Amino acid sequence: MIYWDYNATAPLHPHIKEKVIEALHRYDGNPSSIHRPGQEARAYLETVRRRLAEKLGVLPTEVVFCGSATEANMLGLWGFWLTEKKKSKPRKKLVSSSIEHAAVTKNVEFLAENEGVESVELPLLPSGLADLEALEKILSGGDVFLCSLQGASNETGIVQDWQAVAALCARYETAFHSDMVQVFGRGPLSLKQEGLNSASLAFHKSGGLKAIGALYLKTGSDWESCICGGGQEKKRRAGTENLLGVASVDGLLDVLDQAVQEYQGRIREVRDHFESELKALSSQIKIVGEELTRLPNTSTCIFPGVASDALLMSLDVNNICASAGSACSSGMSMASPALLSLGYSEDEARSAIRFSLGESSEMSQVPKVIEVIQKTLRKFAA
């Protein structure tokens, strides 16, 4: 099998699997319990938290383990609003882009429909990057409590200039949240230096377990948890911690530096070679964001005149895994809002395929993928 769908999820890394099995046999206690098994579990939890914090360049107290990055996004967005709404003169505008993951957009929609938050769309340049001049104009009004912009698109791989956005938000005393799910593990990431107030992370995109995520929450942030229950995670995320998920983070941290080197080197080379071979097939094939800074593993391609579902089926029967966009939204008969916002037509958006490479991707796989694509294109051209 050729698995080129790492932006959806990555296969469980063998070393991470070993760490999880070890933890399964070693830690039986609840980290909140005072007996020895509980305290051993607590000690392990905090050790992994410190390791992750060090890798992110933040304090251990700024790392909140969650059930997923979706939950981390919810905590980030809701948390800033819950404190803002209690002020005598609350700011009500929340700025976010049209290319965010559904984990952000659905929460923004809910806040707007049920909490009186005013959703403001962050303007994009034709390239898909945030329009910084337009953003500054919005922020200068003084009525924005939060801005949310993804670090990199799960669909196109386009990397945003989040440092510049963070600087603008700081200038106008606006909190800044970023969905960093696709950035983590694919390149260097120091959240403290980026100037973020909060960020969401997932680990299953890099070979960890699913159902474990993390929220970075900057010390001193004007924030309140929206999850009620026990006092876990310093009362920021109620619920017994998923220690097996945390063990997978521990294993991931063991191999993370090597993985980043792979993405920045070998995997990028495979992606670039694949794109050059694609362009040799047809001048009509478009590569989204080709001239921009992208994730080193991601290639979203538009095949005019060929429905993405048809091409995906052809790839699938040949044991090649790719997708038509976000795995959380695939299967829906609709054009990608992210691609539409970049100026592509509905027909073009419906003919887009995302290839996202990873650890198992090899240069030797490229000819097979190209062969299947070429045969499918010929079939539709006949």
- Cα 115 to Cα 92: distance, rounded to the nearest angstrom: 9
Q: Which of 100, 93, 103, 107 is nearest to 135 (CA)?
A: 93
Give the domain range for residue 351.
2-8+264-381
362 with 320, same domain? Answer: yes
- Tens-digit pLDDT profile for residues 131-147: 999 999 999 999 999 99
Residue with the larger pLDDT of the pair 335 and 216: 216
**pLDDT in the model for residue 273:** 99
195 with 334, same domain? Answer: no
**pLDDT in the model for residue 338:** 86
242: Cα within 13 Å, side-chain hemisphere: 18
Q: Which helix (H) or strand (E) holds 286?
A: strand 286-287
118 with 198, same domain? Answer: yes
User: What share of the chain has pLDDT > 90, as a percent?
Assistant: 93
Other CB atoms closer than 10 Å to residue 287's CB: what's the count? 17
pLDDT tier at 334, thresholds 50, 70, 90: confident
What CATH number does residue 321 fall under?
A: 3.90.1150.10
pLDDT tier at 192, thresholds 50, 70, 90: confident
Examine residue 297 and state whether it is found in any structural domain, yes or no.
Answer: yes
221 with 100, same domain? Answer: yes
What CATH number does residue 207 fall under?
A: 3.40.640.10
Whether the per-residue pLDDT at 328 is higher than 80: the answer is no
In total, how many domains does the chain have?
A: 2
Domain-ending residue, one of 254, 278, 311:
254
Whether the per-residue pLDDT at 156 is higher than 70: the answer is yes
125 with 268, same domain? Answer: no
- Tens-digit pLDDT profile for residues 200-212: 999 999 999 999 9
Ranges 97-101, 152-156, 330-334: which has the least confidence: 330-334
Whether the per-residue pLDDT at 79 is higher than 60: the answer is yes
- Tens-digit pLDDT profile for residues 298-307: 999 999 999 9
246 with 333, same domain? Answer: no
235 with 282, same domain? Answer: no
268 with 216, same domain? Answer: no
Contacts of residue 140, defined as CB under 8 A and 6 or more positions apart, other chains included, come to 172
Examine residue 351 and state whether it is found in any structural domain, yes or no.
Answer: yes
Indicate the pTM of the whole model: 0.94
Examine residue 259 and state whether it is found in any structural domain, yes or no.
Answer: no
**pLDDT in the model for residue 150:** 97
The amino acid occupying position 255 is V
